[in-house]
Amino acid sequence: MHIVEIDNNKVPIALTKTYAEEPYILGCQGIVNVNLSIGSKAKLEDVTKYCSNELLNVYNAMTKRIINRSVEKYDKICATYFMRYEKELKVESKEIIHAPFVLEHLGWANNNYNIVLNEYMQYMQKETIKYTIYHELCHLHTLKYNNSFGHNPDFYDVLYQKYSPMEIKKIMEN
Ligand SMILES: [Zn+2]
């Protein structure tokens, strides 16, 4: 995570790269995500120099702000809620992988019972971390008990037992 000062604002910037053809900027949970295409030679300094207005606009459009949390503290939160929700949902994740990626996704699960969490969640509200863990474990739950995978009615049945759509909307708001 980079903290860049723009007009007296300390703007947290996550720089990611994907196969997207055009670079883009998005705001997520108080973080400004600059996504460049994999072949791009642009540096963060270039982006902050030429797009400072856009970066600031994206930042100011968000109401959430980042939390300064150590990686140890973040790991502890993850461990606590994985343990709690795995028990609640009667599932077990095989492997939990932490990796930084574009902030369009905070996590995902696959049908090998692995879960990948976006490393940038270290700086997000605890509610967001808890919800993401629960969401991904719901995928493992439907895989195990319904033999289905994805955002389907089985999945929402389990998810809505804990979180109402309104609560989810509030948590996922930026
Ligand atoms: Zn999902």
Q: How many CB atoms lie within 10 A of CB 123?
A: 19
Residue 109's pLDDT is 96
Residue 166's pLDDT is 97
What is the distance in A from the centroid of ligand 1 to the CA of 56?
30
Residue 103's pLDDT is 97
Residue 75's pLDDT is 97
Q: What pTM was computed for the model?
A: 0.95
26 falls in which pLDDT band (50, 70, 90)? very high
What is the distance in A from the centroid of ligand 1 to the CA of 112?
15
What is the distance in A from the centroid of ligand 1 to the CA of 71?
24
51 falls in which pLDDT band (50, 70, 90)? very high
CATH topology of domain 71-172: Zincin-like (3.30.2010)
What is the distance in A from the centroid of ligand 1 to the CA of 140?
10
Residue 162's pLDDT is 97
Q: Which of 47, 10, 30, 2 is nearest to 106 (CA)?
A: 30
Residue 153's pLDDT is 96
Domain assignments of the chain as residue spans, ordered by start: 2-60, 71-172
Q: Can you point out the beta strands (E) in the chain?
A: 2-6, 9-18, 24-28, 31-37, 95-99, 107-109, 114-118
What is the distance in A from the centroid of ligand 1 to the CA of 62?
23
141 falls in which pLDDT band (50, 70, 90)? very high
Least confident range from 40-49, 74-83, 121-130: namely: 40-49
Share of the chain above pLDDT 70, in %: 100
Residue 10's pLDDT is 96
